[in-house]
Amino acid sequence: MNSKTKIGIVICDRYRRCAGGKCFRAMKNKEGAFSIYRDTEVELVGFTTCDGCPGGNIEYAGEEMVKNGAEVIHLATGLVVGYPPCPYINTFKAFLEKRHEVKVVVGTHPIPKKYLDMHNHLGTWENSVWNPLIAPTMNDEVTRASYD
Whole-angstrom distance between the N-terminal and C-terminal Cα of the chain?
30
pLDDT of amino acid 2: 57
141 vs 129: CA distance, rounded Å: 22
Tell whether the model's pLDDT for residue 39 goes beyond 60. Answer: yes
Q: Phi/psi of residue 129, each to 5°?
A: -60, -25
Q: Phi/psi of residue 43, each to 5°?
A: -125, 125
| pLDDT tens-place string over residues 77-135 | 999 999 999 999 999 999 999 999 999 999 999 999 999 999 999 999 999 999 999 99
Tell whether the model's pLDDT for residue 8 goes beyond 70. Answer: yes
Tell whether the model's pLDDT for residue 44 goes beyond 80. Answer: yes
Domains, the chain? 3-146 (3.40.50)
